Amino acid sequence: MLCLSYLLKHFMEQLIIKFYTAFSLHDADTMAACYHPDAVFNDEAFVNLRGKEAGQMWKMLIERSKGKLQVKFDNVQATAEKGSAHWQAEYIFSATGRKVVNSINAEFEFKDGLIYRHTDRFDLHQWAAQAMGLKGRLLGGFGFFRRKVQEQARLSLDKYIQKQGNLQ
C-alpha cells in the first residue's frame, strides 16, 4: 500500500510539473489536457470556469502575450488527492502595455488522474498596481474593483471562446 501511495503522489507531482512546463513553453493544448472534463478553475480574476473554459483561458492568455510570457514554478507537492505549487508569471498586460510580475500560489484537487479543481491565489491589489499603474494602486484593494476585474475577465473569455467558434 505504501508503494501505491508513493506512486500516486509521484504521478500527481508529475502532472503538475507537466502543466507548468507546458505553460512555460506556451503550450495551452497540453495544459488543457491536464484538466478533468468537469474541472473547475478559480483565481482572483477568472471565477468559476468550468470544463474546457479553463483550457481556453490559458490559450487566450498565452496568445495575448505574443510570446512575451515567462513562467517559472517551484515547490511542487502532491498526494493522491491534492497538490500545490508556487509559480511566477512575467508578462506585458495587454490592456495597458505595462509589465507585470505576478507571484501565485496554486492548489489542486485531482480526479481520475487529472486536475479536477484548480485555485490560484495572488495579491490582486499588487497585480493591479503593476498592470494599471496609479489607478490600480489606488483602487485595487476595493471589492468593487475586484468585481469589475472579474466581470471584464469573464467578458473577455466569453468573446474569445465565441470567436473560436466552440470549446475546443
Mind listing the pLDDT tens digit for each residue in 127-164?
999 999 998 889 888 889 999 999 999 999 999 999 98
Angular region, 40: left φ>0, alpha ψ -120 to 50, beta rest: beta
94 and 152 Cβ atoms separated by less than 8 Å: no
What predicted TM-score, i.e. pTM, was given to this entire model? 0.93
Mind listing the pLDDT tens digit for each residue in 98-133?
999 999 999 999 999 999 999 999 999 999 999 999
Mind listing the pLDDT tens digit for each residue in 19-52?
999 999 999 999 999 999 999 999 999 999 999 9
